[in-house]
Amino acid sequence: MKLKTKAWLVSQGLLIVTAIIIQLTFYREIKVGPMLGMPKRGYLEIIQNHEPAIPEYAKENNLKPEMYDARLSLTQEEIQSANLGAYRKAYRQEEGLRMALKGGFVVNIIYFLAYHLLVLYFTRSIAKSKTAGRYA
């Protein structure tokens, strides 16, 4: 295996390990789900952006979504009156987790392109300097 390939595999591995640590850290910080009384959702459910089930108490009491769904754009007063503060935070954290995963993919693609372009540039520069050194 070429040194170029080994260096790329090691550096790419470090990027992936960093992305995994970020994902685990973000997921551990989530305490509840995005709706009042909802427990924390599973990682894959969050990443795949599955629609959470409406709580039974909300169906039974015919509550308006503003009273239990922290995903809605509510004012601070509405959030406080419905006691949705923690659930609103959980919703934002779920959004952040999905965004961090997408960002990890983007960073890896950028790194892949930049690494290969820089290796190509430095390989050519070294080859030019070697040929120029022979004729000097």
Averaged over successive runs of 10 residues, the pLDDT of the chain (136 residues) comes to 86 92 94 94 95 90 92 91 93 96 93 91 88 69
Decide if 107 is inside a domain: yes
Query: What local confidence, expressed as pLDDT, does residue 113 receive?
Result: 93
Decide if 136 is inside a domain: no
Decide if 36 is inside a domain: yes
Q: At what angle do helices 85-135 and 3-29 cross, to 10 degrees?
A: 170
Query: What local confidence, expressed as pLDDT, does residue 14 receive?
Result: 92
Decide if 59 is inside a domain: yes
Query: What local confidence, expressed as pLDDT, does residue 136 receive?
Result: 57
Query: How many domains are contained in the chain?
Result: 1
Structural domain boundaries enclosing 74: 3-129
Query: What local confidence, expressed as pLDDT, does residue 48 receive?
Result: 96
Query: What local confidence, expressed as pLDDT, does residue 135 receive?
Result: 62
Q: What is the pTM of this model?
A: 0.81
Decide if 135 is inside a domain: no
